[in-house]
Amino acid sequence: MVVIFSFIFLSALGAYVRWIIGERGPIGILMVNVIGSFLLACTSNWVDAQITAIGIGGLGAFTTFSAFASDSVSLQESRGLLIASSYVAGTAVLSISAAGLGLSIS
């Protein structure tokens, strides 16, 4: 029962913090996804209940693919393909690098 309530609480908290940071636009969503990738990688060797509540609940709600996709399309429409492509590539490279760093220290 504790895991269920932890999952619900951390999911709500993760979504709220993402919303606050995401208000900064594409840079905020980039920050959310890079930080979330790092933190999720840091939890890679935790036990099932912890990873369910913190990893899937909290960090799953914190990171966002839908806002990333929406921002990518908006950037392409407003600032062009080069800026949008740079945003997509930068998010991928930074998120994967952050995950690699998280795995190396966990």
* Segments making up each domain of the chain, as ranges: 2-105
Q: Is the dihedral of CA 98, 92, 75, 66 positive or negative?
A: negative
Q: What is the pLDDT of residues 65-93, one digit of tens each?
A: 999 999 999 999 999 999 999 999 999 99
CA distances from 88 to 2, 11, 72, 104, 106 (A): 38, 25, 7, 24, 27
| Res. 13 pLDDT band, cuts 50 70 90 | very high
The type of residue at 82 is L
| Res. 55 pLDDT band, cuts 50 70 90 | confident
Give the Cβ contact number of residue 82 at 10 Å.
10
